Amino acid sequence: MDKSKLDRRAFLANSARAGVAMCGACLCGQLPAFADETAGSEEQEPIDPKKVNYCGHTCSPDCKFKKATLENDVELKKEAWKLWKIEENYGLEFDPDQAICYGCKAPGKPEGVVVSNCTVRSCAQEKKLDCCIECDDLVECSKSLWTRFPDFHKAVIAEQVKYRAQT
């Protein structure tokens, strides 16, 4: 088989894994999107799938990847790339043009390696869902985001139960 095809296949496979890892990496040190931010209040705001990412996470305002993108700061992009271990885990050398993220629901914005390879995002889009909490297959879903971050998966499932109770 032609070596370039093998390299392309390996690149595509690694890119897909990197995308999922990047989605999950956003979770590091942050609460899930559905964390009980209104604990202690008598009334919680209804869950709106349009207001969270496809996976159910809400990106932190101080997300290093997003800040680096908005400021077009190559050094900060390198830090984010290293923090999320893209090269180490997926064999992808740093590329400032792919080290961008405006969020997964930023229409008209370019998609970097994170967004373009997120299997959770592509699945939700294919199913025409705003968020995974709308998906009948969420509990049994085995996307690598969920297998790598099972507690996050459980939190999103719990929010699905709340979401379905409110609709």
3-state class (DSSP) for residue 97: coil
- pLDDT band for position 153 (50/70/90)? very high
Q: 111-129: per-residue pLDDT in tens?
A: 888 888 788 999 999 999 9
* pLDDT, average across residues 44-73: 91
Q: 98-115: per-residue pLDDT in tens?
A: 899 999 999 999 988 888
Helix, strand counts (H, E) of the chain = 8, 0
pLDDT at 80 over 70: yes
Residue 96 CB neighbour total at 10 angstroms: 15
* pLDDT, average across residues 27-33: 41
Residue 113 CB neighbour total at 10 angstroms: 24
Q: What is the DSSP string of 111-166?
A: --HHHHT-HHHHHHHHTT-SSGGG-TTTTT---HHHHH-HHHHHHHHHHHHHHHHH
Domain assignments of the chain as residue spans, ordered by start: 3-33+48-166
- pLDDT band for position 160 (50/70/90)? very high
Q: Which pTM does this prediction carry?
A: 0.71
- pLDDT band for position 87 (50/70/90)? confident
